[in-house]
Amino acid sequence: MDKNPIELVCLRKEYGRFTAVDDLSLGIARNSFTGLLGPNGAGKSTTLKMITNLIRPTSGHVFINGYDVTEDPKEALAGVGTVIETPEFYGYMTPRENLRYIGGIIGMPPESISAQTDEVLEKVRMSGWADKRMSTFSKGMRQRIAIGQALLGDPDIVILDEPTSGLDPRGMAEMRAIMKEFRGHARGLTVLTSSHILHEVQDLCDRVAMVNHGRLVFNDDIEAVGSIAGLKTMVLKTEGVPEASVHDRLRSLSSVVTVDSDGADTVVRFRGSRSALFTDIAGLGIGAYSLSEGDSLESKYLEIIKESS
């Protein structure tokens, strides 16, 4: 089995008597898009700073591709692109000049810097601003250039610390659209991003790790949270009706996800409206007496945070 490219083992960070990260162990699966979710002050940024060797853990270890970040930072962080805290660029330089300069610093081959600069500018939708001085840029525009510099060198892993923080609604939407395209990366990309915005994690990520008071309190595929994709549950009374024909009919519907028997009843998980489902199964001689909306990410998140506080 392929090893996780990022492994946190009993990671702990103390500031005097305050524990910011409390024995956190977590594996980030290869080619996953993982959201590190938690309220402000939960330890998300501290965790990402330890992963990227910006601060040292009090105890525990971070391994990236098998290398200990503290002991072998150069090897561990090779092939890792990051955006941590507010990005800084030379305002008197253009995005093209800034990215070429950064490409040289990180050791990219000189012959590939120009082409990769143009490529990442296109990915972050800033080609039209490539030769404008960055001193005139908004925070959202600068954040897009920061994502671009994280993609220089064609990394296998990208780590982002609240990349939409401080952006206006339009800037947030543009940033999420760019991040969604990470999933189509030709070689596959492992992405770890922190956020305290629930619908952002729901929209972008396929896995979620929740932290509170520096502790890991939930870690699973995002679908395991419950009705994350808008699934509903309906119990159909099918006693006296040929079960096979009902199940076959239900399974043929595009809105139906699962069909299960429960004694004389049939339990259906589906997307869309109840009325639309009723229309689709009209004439089968069955009725519904129970309808529930499975747990949302928000309700599950609030439940977990409350239990861990």
Q: How many domains does the chain have?
A: 2
Is there a domain that residue 156 lies in? Answer: yes
Burial of 177 (0-12, 13-18, 19+ CB in 10 A): exposed
pLDDT at 290: 53
Q: Once rounded to an integer, what is the mean pLDDT over residues 204-215?
A: 92
Strands 157-161 and 80-83, by their bridges, are: parallel
pLDDT at 13: 98
Q: How many other CB atoms are there within 10 angstroms of residue 96's CB atom?
A: 19
Task: Determine the longest span between alpha carbons in the chain, in angstroms.
Answer: 78
Is there a domain that residue 302 lies in? Answer: no
Cβ 286 vs Cβ 272: under 8 Å: no
One domain for residues 115 and 148: yes
In the chain, the N- to C-terminal Cα span, in Å, equals 36
One domain for residues 195 and 77: yes
Could you tell me how many residues make up the chain?
309
List the beta bridge partners of residue 265.
Answer: 237, 262
Is there a domain that residue 299 lies in? Answer: no
One domain for residues 189 and 285: no
Is there a domain that residue 89 lies in? Answer: yes
One domain for residues 75 and 28: yes
One domain for residues 28 and 174: yes
CA angle 216, 218, 220 (to 5 degrees): 125
One domain for residues 124 and 142: yes
One domain for residues 191 and 246: no
pLDDT at 182 over 70: yes
pLDDT at 295 over 60: no
Q: How far apart are CA 274 and CA 234, in angstroms?
A: 8
Last residue in a domain, options 198, 225, 252? 225
Q: How many other CB atoms are there within 10 angstroms of residue 90's CB atom?
A: 12
Looking up tokens 């929740």, which residue turns up?
210
Q: What is the DSSP letter of 48?
A: H
Is there a domain that residue 259 lies in? Answer: yes
Phi then psi for 222, rounded to 5 degrees? -65, -30
pLDDT at 248: 83
One domain for residues 185 and 109: yes
Structure tokens at 267: 């339990």
pLDDT at 65: 96
Last residue in a domain, options 225, 259, 281? 225
Residue among 159, 205, 179, 201 nearest 64 (CA): 159
Q: Which of the two residues, 241 and 200, has the higher pLDDT score?
A: 200
Q: How far apart are CA 204 and CA 22, in angstroms?
A: 27
CATH number of residue 77's parent domain: 3.40.50.300
85-108 confidence digits (pLDDT tens): 877 899 999 999 999 999 999 999
Q: Once rounded to an integer, what is the mean pLDDT over residues 151-167?
A: 92
pLDDT at 197 over 70: yes
**pTM of the model as a whole:** 0.76
One domain for residues 108 and 250: no
Cβ partners under 8 Å of residue 208, min gap 6: 34, 35, 37, 201, 218, 219, 220, 222, 225, 297
Structure tokens at 112: 């590939």
Q: How far apart are CA 19 and CA 51, in angstroms?
A: 17
One domain for residues 177 and 246: no
One domain for residues 73 and 220: yes
164-176 confidence digits (pLDDT tens): 888 888 888 889 8
Cβ partners under 8 Å of residue 279, min gap 6: none
Q: How many other CB atoms are there within 10 angstroms of residue 228's CB atom?
A: 18
One domain for residues 261 and 172: no
Cβ partners under 8 Å of residue 128, min gap 6: none
Amino acid at 46: T
Domain that holds residue 288: 232-293
Is there a domain that residue 254 lies in? Answer: yes
Is there a domain that residue 221 lies in? Answer: yes
Is there a domain that residue 27 lies in? Answer: yes
CATH number of residue 240's parent domain: 3.30.70.100
Residue among 210, 213, 206, 194 nearest 298 (CA): 210
